[in-house]
Chain A
């Protein structure tokens, strides 16, 4: 499994864009990049995933660099409810859907 590096914490003002970086320099060609978040005392929530193209859904956008060694999750207009721990997880298509969670980034959205 590819190793990931994420900043331990970030702050964002409500209404502003939150940009959460993730370094996955050892990612292999068949590993997708998945993002999940975990709001306090709840189960993790799937956000978005991608292979090499940028992706967007109703929750967020995912920007993956051309060399695939890093990615950025963008929450375009952060709200207080987006306060959570965000996990970047490379996932091999050959594994049994095992998600390997690191320590993630604790995002605090403030007024």
Chain B
């Protein structure tokens, strides 16, 4: 158990809809990163939030957006869902004391299915 929680566990949406996924970081951690993992592949970095500001973004379109709150929990929002968005969405928290360092602690993920 890492202390990182995600909700919901599973979600089914229709193409074109919008979805919000939530993540509570480990106590004391101020950095949250989001990853997308398609079936049979390794996780792909979406973006990271450090103290409520975006601190790096992967190769994902603007319809993927996020927020980090003062308590360091975070949301991932995806608009205009496409079939290829079906994946396991993982969040990871870390203590971003030094930029780029620090092990990341992952939550169990949210399984999103787009039909």
Contacts and interface: CB of A to CB of B under 8 A. Distances in A.
A98 B101 contact: no
A85 B35 CA distance: 17
Contacts of A46: 103-105
A43 interface: yes
B31 A43 contact: no
Scoring A32, A100, A102 by chain B CB atoms within 10 A of each residue's CB, the highest score goes to A100
Contacts of B106: 43-45
Interface of A is mostly: loop
Nearest to A30: B100
Interface string A95-109: 111111111100000
Nearest to A49: B103
Contacts of A92: 100
B48 A104 contact: no
A97 B47 CA distance: 10
A93 B109 CA distance: 26
Contact of A42 (B41, B92, B104, B108): B108
Q: Which 8 residue pairs are nearest across A and B when measured between Cβ atoms?
A: A96-B56, A43-B106, A101-B42, A46-B103, A93-B100, A98-B45, A96-B55, A95-B100
Interface of B: 2, 4, 31, 33, 35, 41-45, 48, 50, 55-56, 58, 90, 92, 94, 96, 98-109
